[in-house]
Structure 1
Amino acid sequence: MAQFDTHEGSFGTMGDRSQADMLCELGLMYATGRDCVTDLVAAHKWFNIAAIRGSAEAARLRAELAPSLTKPELVRALREAREWMTMH
């Protein structure tokens, strides 16, 4: 399984962090099970959205995570990301 480093700091405070960084942090939260149940599909979804919004780190983490998912899980993650992007 992929290894993810967690970052210090709170997701709830925006400060100088960009939206893409915040979305990447959400992906890390799901990937590592920090403050939630580990959910690699959700992690991939948030990494994908963050990458689309310009986070190079999220793109790297998404690529690292993808081989850990089955094809149906990957399809679900991509569909959920597309649905989220359509709504937001």
Structure 2
Amino acid sequence: MMGYLDHDALDRAMAFARTQAKNTDFLNTYGDLAARGDDDALFSLGCAFSTGSHGIGCDMIEAHKWFNLAAARGHEDASNCRAEVAEEMSAREIAEAQRRARAWLKEARARH
């Protein structure tokens, strides 16, 4: 029996692969900039995770973490965004976001 090639499924798989590559590119690019202390990159990561943009899944804990880091670096809008995200989170989730932010800072310091 010959295999049947589902062109729609293949198109969806290819689109998914391209999206995953773009997501990886976004995270790598902005992650590298954030590691260098770029407060706009930190803020952009917060925006991406809070809205699910750039094909990144919506994750309020990660969003809070990045907004918190951007606010600590003096980004003008980050503390307001962090507060808005926090309104949708439990105390336990906020504590986890803060733990992740501290861990990220510790790792960033170790790299430099």
Q: TM-score, normalised by structure 1?
A: 0.78
**Do residues 19 (structure 1) and 67 (structure 2) align?**
no
Matching residue of 1:41: 61
1:79 aligned residue (65, 88, 99): 99
1:64 aligned residue (84, 95, 101): 84
Amino acid at match of 2:86: A
Per-residue deviation, residues 47-87 of structure 1 (Å, max 9, x unmatched): 00011111021111001111110111000000000110111
SS in 2 for 1:51: helix
Instruction: State the distance in 2 between where 1:51 and 1:70 align.
Output: 20
RMSD of the alignment, in Å?
1.7
Structure 2 residue runs without a partner (length 5+)? 1-25
Structure with more relative contact order (C-alpha pairs < 8 Å, separation 6 or more):
1
Based on CA coordinates, which of the two structures has the bigger radius of gyration? 2
- Structure having the larger proportion of residues in helix: 2
Amino acid at match of 2:40: D
Structure 1 residue runs without a partner (length 5+)? 1-10
Matching residue of 1:32: 51
Deviating beyond 3 angstroms after TM superposition, the runs of 4 or more aligned structure 1 residues are 11-14
Offset, 1:26 = 0.5
Offset, 1:28 = 0.3
